[in-house]
Amino acid sequence: MQMFLLSINAVLPILILMLSGYLFKRVGFLSEAFFSEASKLVFRVALPILIFSKLSSGEPLEKMTSEQMKLILIVVIGIIVSFIIIRRLFKNVVSESHKTSMKGVMLQGSFRSNYLIIGYPILHSIYGDRIIVNFALLGAFLIPMFNILSVIALNEGDEESDLNIFSMIKSILKNPLIIAVFLGFLVKVLEFDLPISIDNTFDLIGSLATPLGLISIGGFFEFHSLKRNWKNIYKVSMFKLVILPVVFTIIGYVLGLSIENIILIAIIFGGPTAVSSFAMAREMNGDTELAASIVIVTSLMCSFTLVILMTTWMNVLN
């Protein structure tokens, strides 16, 4: 019961903010133009600054233990392998119109995780401050990897032959989130300390990313999209919430990871689809209704799937 309440307390604010955006639009308090501009602000300004701040102030990599290195290898290799397999499986599953925009959104929704917003409150309540180090170390790898793979997913054509490598590389290099990743690592490597006033300003701007992004998702959400896209949402949710977390927590167990790192893997692979996936999908001409639906459905369902998975592992290993 305690685990369930922790999960609900982590997820409920996210759902409330998305519901607020939906209601604000329905009652005419905020216009569609507002949500469009807000989404642009999140993707081009708030999220890049948030990513830059997290990476530039992250934990130095030389402090990694062998356990942490094993954790990072499982997560990084797992995400790349998942991306390749799911991309192949989704190649021919979308039969509706706008096939390209839907397939890219489905692929991104299957592997890109909201692990920090959902997972940190749960893990911190169980294991305390020591879990912060693992989050920081994983973030140094996951943030650039999620963004690069998402750009690749959303740039794909209908068929393998349609894929323009040069166009994709250009999109990756021009992407504000990728630029933020590069600058964040550069500042970290050079050990350059930003002035406190700039650092505080970035913290304020970056703090806009999650709430404004969630409200924007609610504004773009349509109930009829659930009915039209339920098969695709179901496929994404099965991979995101069930198949990937079960497979990779078992791998973590077989390779001898501690219980807290197995739970961390469960949250990384089994957390809801990241809020930022919606902003990127919209900016790159993906199916925004499908993207919003995936974020909302996985955010709602993960309260139950994560609790079941984490409770199971705790019972097995304790």
Q: Which domain holds residue 308?
A: 2-317
| pLDDT (average), residues 211-219 | 86
What CATH number is associated with residue 170?
A: 1.20.1530.20
Instruction: Determine the residue type at 134.
Output: N
Residue 11 has pLDDT above 80, yes or no: no
Q: Which residue has the higher pLDDT, 283 or 4?
A: 283
| pLDDT (average), residues 80-97 | 77
pLDDT at 62: 54
pLDDT tens-digit series, residues 155-192: 764 444 345 566 667 767 777 878 888 888 888 888 88
Cβ burial, residue 173 (10 Å; 0-12/13-18/19+):
exposed
| pLDDT (average), residues 131-137 | 71
Highest mean pLDDT among 9-18, 151-160, 194-203: 194-203
- Cα-based angle 279, 239, 111 (whole degrees, multiple of 5): 40
- The Cα diameter of the chain in Å comes to 55
Angle, in degrees to the nearest 10, between helices 259-270 and 131-155: 30
- Band of pLDDT at residue 221, cut at 50, 70 and 90: confident
pLDDT at 160: 44
Q: Which of 51, 29, 305 is nearest to 175 (CA)?
A: 51
pLDDT at 144: 83
pLDDT at 58: 60
Residue 42 has pLDDT above 80, yes or no: yes
pLDDT at 153: 86
Length of the chain: 318
Instruction: Determine the residue type at 202.
Output: F
Q: Which residue has the higher pLDDT, 285 or 72?
A: 72
Q: Which residue has the higher pLDDT, 168 or 260?
A: 260
* Mean pLDDT for the chain overall: 82
- Range of weakest confidence among 50-59, 67-76, 83-92: 50-59
Residue % of the chain over a pLDDT of 70: 83
99: its two tokens: 């096939």
Measured between alpha carbons, how far is 52 from 185 in angstroms, rounded to an integer? 8
Domains contained in the chain, number: 1
| pLDDT (average), residues 114-121 | 70
Residue 248 has pLDDT above 90, yes or no: yes
pLDDT at 159: 46
Measured between alpha carbons, how far is 136 from 58 in angstroms, rounded to an integer? 6
Highest mean pLDDT among 12-21, 40-49, 230-239, 278-287: 230-239
Measured between alpha carbons, how far is 15 from 299 in angstroms, rounded to an integer? 7
Residues 6+ apart with CB under 8 A from 8: 303
66: its two tokens: 């062998």
Residue 112 has pLDDT above 60, yes or no: yes
